[in-house]
Amino acid sequence: MKFFADTADTADIASLAATGLLDGVTTNPSLIAKSGRNFLDVIREIAALTPGPVSAEVVATDTTGMLREAEVLKKLGSNICIKLPLTLAGLTACKALSDEGTMTNVTLCFSANQALLAAKAGASFVSPFVGRLDDIGQEGMQLIADIRTIYDNYAFDTEILVASVRTPTHVLEAAKIGADVATMPPSVIRALAHHPLTDKGLAAFLDDWAKTGQTIA
């Protein structure tokens, strides 16, 4: 499974990139607004921090506007992935961009039927939002399972990019189902490495080592 950081915080991205665990980055208008910085500057900087896909989202709602904005965004880096809403206008733009070889990420997916349309439009990635479905009493992971079944049935190339990930449990369940990517806040990526028994064991090892009075040099 690939790990994408869902953030516009370039310091966090640089830190995670140094671990070798980061495969890409996703952003959205809300994350850019939170950064308080210029949108194009942030995307350009992120694209330079990781060789993996960097999803940059359009804000136009019509196909012509989306394609016009996509032309601007593509110039910010060779790894830019155009993020489009799962609307008919967005799917039309997705088809046009995919046909020319541009990476696309169709976002705000909340049903398997929507995911099927994204695959038919040639999307590189589809982003189902599991956390938001959980919030309204639906099972986000069931959507991932349904999409996996449909995509496997027809050998679609579109990758399932699990979004709205809130906890390490979301990551675990998505990996068990066979999702291709999980995008998550940097805090969740870091939390994957934590376990109280690991901390306890390390503390014991270090305590025993200190008693030997030795060093490794």
The answer to whether 28 and 64 are in contact (CB under 8 A) is no
Residue of 83, 95, 176, 200 marked active site: 83
- Which of 189, 179, 196 shows the shortest CA–CA distance to 4? 189
CA angle (174 as vertex; 168, 175 as ends), nearest 5: 90
Cβ proximity of 126 and 144 under 8 Å: no
Assign 14 to helix, strand or coil: helix
Counted residue by residue, the chain has a size of 217
CA atoms within 13 A on the CB side of 145: 8
Rounded CA separation 171/159 (Å): 15
Q: How far is CA 34 from the centre of its chain?
A: 18
Does 2 qualify as catalytic in the annotation? no
Q: How far is CA 80 from CA 29, 50, 104, 132, in A?
A: 15, 11, 9, 26
Report the catalytic residues.
83
